[in-house]
Amino acid sequence: MEINMRKATMEDALDILKWRNDEKSREGSFNKEKINIPQHLEWYKKKMSDENCVMLILMDGEEKAGHIRLDIQGDTAEISYMIAPDQRGKGLGKEILRLMEQSAPSDVKVLVGFTLPGNEGSRKCFKDNDYTEFTAGDVICYIKTLTR
């Protein structure tokens, strides 16, 4: 299959919510609560219209495999991503980060991601993509300067 990314659309909103509300996704998330549809749609619409936000869908052929978001402030962007529950264990976390680095807006120079110590999958993905790890209390921070 061919792995690539495309821009997220409103049609992706409920898939992203389903992935986000998955038990394993919530375990690795800072907010562990389930999110309801109206809450999610309000947040999603706001993000879709935010010029400082890039939201992409990871595609494995014709199948949606994950979601990644950049929240941009100046030349730095915070990464948030998740892999669809039925797509985990295939190395797609590492791939979604690699593809985002290639497609990040040209004015973005630094990428930053945050994980919880127990989120070994995300930690491995960041490390495998050469992010520098910093521990700040109960949060682990990953930073990478883009060279293009």
Q: What is the pLDDT of residues 14-27, one digit of tens each?
A: 999 999 988 888 78
125-148 pLDDT, tens per residue?
999 999 999 998 889 999 999 987
Pick the CATH number of 3-145 from 3.40.50.970, 3.40.630.30, 2.40.50.140, 3.40.50.10070: 3.40.630.30
Domain ranges for the chain: 3-145
Sheet bearing 3-7, strands edge to edge: 3-7, 53-60, 63-73, 76-83, 110-115, 139-145, 132-136
Pairing relationship of beta strands 110-115 and 132-136 according to DSSP bridges: unpaired
Cα separation, 123 vs 119, in Å, equals 6
pTM for the full predicted model: 0.91
